[in-house]
Amino acid sequence: NRDLAGKAVLVHTGWDRHWRTDAYFTDHPYLTQDAAEFLVAARARLVGIDSHNIDDTVGRSRPVHTILLRHDIPIVEHLCNLAALPDDGFRFHAVPPKVKGFGTFPVRAYATV
């Protein structure tokens, strides 16, 4: 059991190996509603995933986005090279461009070890 309060939780699935292939967009790993509720209760500061979407993209429901964003927990998708990070002892950065009124936008994501 780890204390996740105030921390970035990065979900390493290995799915980034499919980047730039058609496989990347189908049957991708995602989080469940229960996982999102757990992360809110654990007071995670940010949640990232190395997959196409943090939600299941079959259907129109996006419970993970809804739950996390309702609690002001930013989401970072399409991460890569998470296997290179240690389990602990790094600082994650997701630097957005200066934008206003956007719901989604690219960031420069990187970690310092």
* Mean pLDDT to the nearest integer, 26-43: 97
Token digits for 44?
């995670």
Lowest mean pLDDT among 16-20, 63-67, 75-79, 100-104: 100-104
- The separation between CA 80 and the C-alpha centre of its own chain, rounded to angstroms, equals 11
Cα–Cα dist 109/47, whole Å? 12
Mean pLDDT, rounded, of the chain: 94
Cα–Cα dist 39/47, whole Å? 8
Are the C-beta atoms of 75 and 65 separated by less than 8 Å? yes
DSSP-derived letter for residue 110 is E
3-state SS assignment for residue 56: coil
Token digits for 36?
């999102």
Share of the chain above pLDDT 90, in %: 82
- Where do the domains of the chain lie, and which CATH numbers do they carry? 8-112 (3.50.30.50)
pLDDT at residue 16 is higher than 90: yes
